[in-house]
Amino acid sequence: MAAAPAYGAVPASGYLEVVVIGAGAAGIAAARRLAAAGRRFALVEASARVGGRCSTDMSLFGVPFDRGARWIRSPDANPVAKLAVQAKLELYPAPPGQTLRIGRRNAREGEMEFFLSSLGRASRAIADAGRAKADIAAAKALPKIFEEWNPVIDFVLGPYGCTKDLTDVSAYDFARQPERDADAFCRQGYGTLLAKLADGLPVRLSTPVTAIDWAHNAVSVETPKGTLTARAVIMTASTNVLMGSSIRYRPGLPKRHFDALAKLSLGSLDHIALELEGNPLGLRPDDLVFEKAAGNRTAALLAHVGGTPLCLIDVGGRFGKSLADQGEAAMVAFATDWLADLYGADVKKAVKRGHATRWSKEPYVLGASSVAAPGAQPGRRVLMEPLNNRIWLAGEAVHETLWGTVNGAWESGERAAEAVIKRLGRG
């Protein structure tokens, strides 16, 4: 078992230069940059762990189970991936391509070619719409593909790709995502990597922020464990938390920022983890499987994660959210039945244990990733505007192109820290 992280001490009192709120990717990135600049700061985290929506669990199945982010996007350009070597963790490339199931068989060569070409056509059509003068829902930009293929196209690009149905996604926002030529996984878990990168930082866990007073020259950050006072705050909480009722702001958030948050709400994407004895699916490690579904009651399968018996069945969008609302037992039952429909009833006999995440029920997160509603993409730039040069927002929602990714959150945190350091240098 890995050693417990070694966190630095958080000052119990005294005047800080910066308080960083939230120890996810953005908060850790900001804190590391502040530490490198020699600034006096504290990092406070509402939950009992670091990592935010990037969390690796070792206790449930005895193997690394990434409860949130798993895919390391564009590892050659990803700043988090580049730090994995320093953290002495192993990255390995994700297998190229995917499998498509049609009933209880794999798609034939011609069917697979049509599926992949249709995905490409749909992505290009949305990207073209994203360059128009007026924004529209991504779903309205889809070409007229054979009707029977629409559900799988919608699922791959929408709920699975960006956590919301394409009817709820801005074509502008979708079009600004960079192309991803390659991906990778961390053998020990993406969450393990984030936790390693927080080693030595002054983190105060289990310390939810209840109020932020930014009416004066200094900002007061109130928590159940006391009040921290600083010249600046970097806030990295999710958009759903920021516009919720758990944190009081004095004065309240500007309407311009609040409206942007509301239109950049989190979508839904959850993992249903099943431990399968043997290899009843006949799949290789990290094979990605989609279904040619007849409707939105569908999922994606990531098989035998990292060569372990663990299989992840991902559900998202409106269907995924409604399923998560029914509870973990309903989610595990759906995943088991879904696999049996694709691979035969004997699969059920191989299931040893199951577990499902429910990110929309996590009180300090409340969803998956930020997705702009049609017409709302400019809100990401609004969130980059500091509040009276005292509060800077950061996180995956505060990135115009890498939204919904760990590397986007990381870059946003570094950018906010740079802005704060520059501001502090003046006074």
158-180 residue pLDDT tens: 999 999 999 999 999 999 999 87
Q: Which pLDDT score is estimated for 286?
A: 98
CA 10 to chain centre: 27
CB count within 10 Å of CB 15 equals 11
Residue 427 CA to residue 416 CA, distance in Å, equals 18
- pLDDT digits 0-9 by tens, 211-250: 999 999 999 999 999 999 999 999 999 999 999 999 999 9
What residues are paired with 226 via a beta bridge?
Answer: 223
Q: In whole numbers, what is the pLDDT of the chain averaged over residues?
A: 95
Tell me: the pLDDT tens digits for 367-414? 999 999 999 999 999 999 999 999 999 999 999 999 999 999 999 999
pLDDT for res 15: 80
Whole-number Cα distances in Å, 183 to 59, 93, 177, 250, 396: 26, 6, 15, 43, 18
| Per-residue pLDDT band at 9 (split at 50, 70, 90) | low
* CA pair distance 371, 158, nearest whole angstrom: 10
Cis preceding linkage at 280, omega within 30 = no
Q: Which of 195, 177, 210 is nearest to 24 (CA)?
A: 195
| Per-residue pLDDT at 14 | 59
Asked whether 354 and 368 are in contact (CB, 8 A), the reply is no
Report the C-alpha gap between 322 and 325 in whole angstroms.
5
pLDDT higher than 50, residue 3: no
Residue pair 98/310 in contact (Cβ under 8 Å)? The answer is: no
pLDDT of residue 1: 37
- Predicted model pTM: 0.95
pLDDT of residue 146: 74
Residue 163 corresponds to which amino acid?
A: T
CB 210 within 8 A of CB 222: yes
Buried/exposed code over 277-286 (b: 16+ C-beta within 10 A; e: otherwise): eeebbebeeb
Q: Given a cut of 60, is residue 13 above it in pLDDT?
A: no
Q: What is the pLDDT of residue 7?
A: 61
Give the residues across from 229 on adjacent strands.
Answer: 15, 220
Q: Is 70 exceeded by the pLDDT of residue 8?
A: no
Position 12 pLDDT exceeds 70? no
Contact 246, 363 (CB under 8 A): yes
CA atoms lying within 13 Å on the CB side of residue 154: 26
The answer to which of 122-131, 142-151, 181-190 has the lowest mean pLDDT is: 142-151
Which pLDDT score, from 0 to 100, does residue 303 have?
98
**What pLDDT shows up at residue 180?**
77
Which tokens is 367 given? 């969803």
Distance CA 51, CA 102 (A): 37
Q: Which tokens in the block code for residue 105?
A: 């068989």
pLDDT in tens, 330-372: 999 999 999 999 999 999 999 999 999 999 999 999 999 999 9
* Site of tokens 């500007």: 254
- 3-state secondary structure string across the chain: CCCCCCCECCCCCCEEEEEEECCCHHHHHHHHHHHHCCCCEEEECCCCCCCCCCCEECCCCCCCEECCCCCEECCCCCHHHHCCCCCCCCEEECCCCCEEEECCEECCHHHHHHHHHHHHHHHHHHHHHCCCCCCCEHHHHCCCCCHHHHHHHHHHHCHHHHCCCHHHCEHHHHHCCCCCCCEEEECCCHHHHHHHHCCCCEEECCCCCCEEECCCCCEEEEECCEEEEEEEEEECCCHHHHCCCCCEEECCCCHHHHHHHHCCCECCEEEEEEEECCCCCCCCCCCEEEECCCCCCCCEEECCHHHCCEEEEEEEHHHHHHHHHCCHHHHHHHHHHHHHHHHCCCHHHHEEEEEECCHHHCCCCCCCCECCCCCCCCHHHHHCCCECCCEEECCHHHCCCCCCCHHHHHHHHHHHHHHHHHHHCCC
Q: How confident is the model at residue 2 (pLDDT cuts 50, 70, 90)?
A: very low
Q: Residues 178-200: what's their mean pLDDT?
A: 94
Q: How far is CA 69 from CA 55, 223, 279, in A?
A: 7, 28, 24
Residues 6 or more apart from 133 whose CB is under 8 A from it? none
Measure CA 348 to chain center. Answer: 30
Categorize the per-residue pLDDT at 145 as very low, low, confident or very high, splitting at 50, 70 and 90.
Answer: confident
Q: What is the pLDDT of residues 280-317, one digit of tens each?
A: 999 999 999 999 999 999 999 999 999 999 999 999 99
The answer to which of 17-26, 99-108, 140-149, 197-206 has the lowest mean pLDDT is 140-149
Phi, psi of 105 (to 5 degrees): -135, 160
The predicted-structure confidence for 50-99, as pLDDT tens digits, reads as follows 999 999 999 999 999 999 999 999 999 999 999 998 899 999 999 999 99
According to the model, what pLDDT value does residue 4 have? 47
Q: Any idea which residue has 């029977």 for tokens? A: 148
Q: For each of the domains in the chain, give its residue range(s) and CATH number, in order of start.
A: 15-54+190-265+371-424 (3.50.50.60), 97-181+267-361 (3.90.660.10)
